[in-house]
Amino acid sequence: MKRRDIIVVGASAGGLGALQTFIGGLPHDLAAAVFVVLHIGARRSAASAILNSSGPLPVAKAVDGGEIRNGHIHVAPPDYHLLLEPGCMRLTRGPRENRTRPAVDPLFRTAAEAYGSRVVGIIMSGTLSDGTAGFSAIRRCGGVTVVQDPDEAEYPGMPRNALRYVGADHCLPVAAIPDLVVRLSGGCPAETSKGAKEHSERLREPEKDDEVTGKYEMNQPVALTCPSCGGSLKETMVGQSPYYTCHIGHRFAIADMDAGQVEKLEESFEIALRTLNERAGLCRRMAEMALSNGHTLSSQRWDDARAEAEEKANVLKRFLEHDWISQPSAEDAW
């Protein structure tokens, strides 16, 4: 069996502890290079320093153009995607994928393209679906896919969605993954674990004919728009899961698309609430000025406009103060 010496790992919520366990189980003479994406966004992070004290292998932030060397672990820095090319790492501030940068999918996808069957992809604790499309690329290029057992993951969404939509070669407790990596990197065959599963569901909406009535109508949209930039989105299927990509490169798994829409709705409502509050203040001021100048009727109209703005603002406040109904989580839908 061919040696698998490019190990790519993705994790999100609850993933730091899982990564500490994984790195702590790797030997000092590992015959593979390890690359990690943890969802840290743009904020400063001590993840690489924390992980550096977790095991015998050196852990450092990835460096653009850095050499790929066995026995070293590199972590994507804040606000940069970590990509792999033949012989080196690359960092880029390209479009966010699944609402985050760094994201797991770009690492997995570029590793598969550059190193093919030499790649082992591992998904650990996290929510939603980042890494699922990358898993599909790794499997398509002959690599090996591994998920942390969702039943032990603090947040099982990422491993469960990978299993559900693409499948995995191995599904293991995180403490058992280092031994598997050692066997794979040494060229020793490893049987598919019993927990690895494949499951598929197609999420489709029936199409409806549009009607033009001259009024606001909530008809089925022709296309969805990007929650990040407002551009139109193209739907593609990765395994059995829909993915949405806009024309400048923002990319969303279906669960991340749902979360992005909710985030954009809240942002839009907050802008509307702010504007209504400002309008109420302006109308109040105009009413006071009209009254002081003896224009009673004009003052009353401005006061009515103020009351209208405050009433509509209160309606929006009730929307914002309640949670949104989102799609079932992976664990609920499993």
Closest CA to 113 of 138, 87, 95: 138
Helix (H) or strand (E) holding 268: helix 254-292
Q: What distances in angstroms separate CA 218 from CA 180, 183, 209, 211, 222, one per listed residue?
A: 52, 56, 12, 10, 12
Annotation marks residue 39 as catalytic: yes
For 314, residues 6+ apart whose C-beta sits below 8 A from its C-beta are: none
3-class secondary structure, 167: coil
Q: Is residue 108 a contact partner of residue 82, using CB atoms and an 8 Å limit?
A: no
Annotation marks residue 12 as catalytic: yes
The residue annotated as part of the active site, out of 5, 12, 54, 170, is 12
Closest CA to 129 of 261, 259, 256, 262: 256
The residue annotated as part of the active site, out of 5, 45, 81, 130, is 130
Annotation marks residue 323 as catalytic: no
Q: Is residue 57 a contact partner of residue 83, using CB atoms and an 8 Å limit?
A: no
User: Which residues participate in catalysis according to the annotation?
Assistant: 12, 39, 130
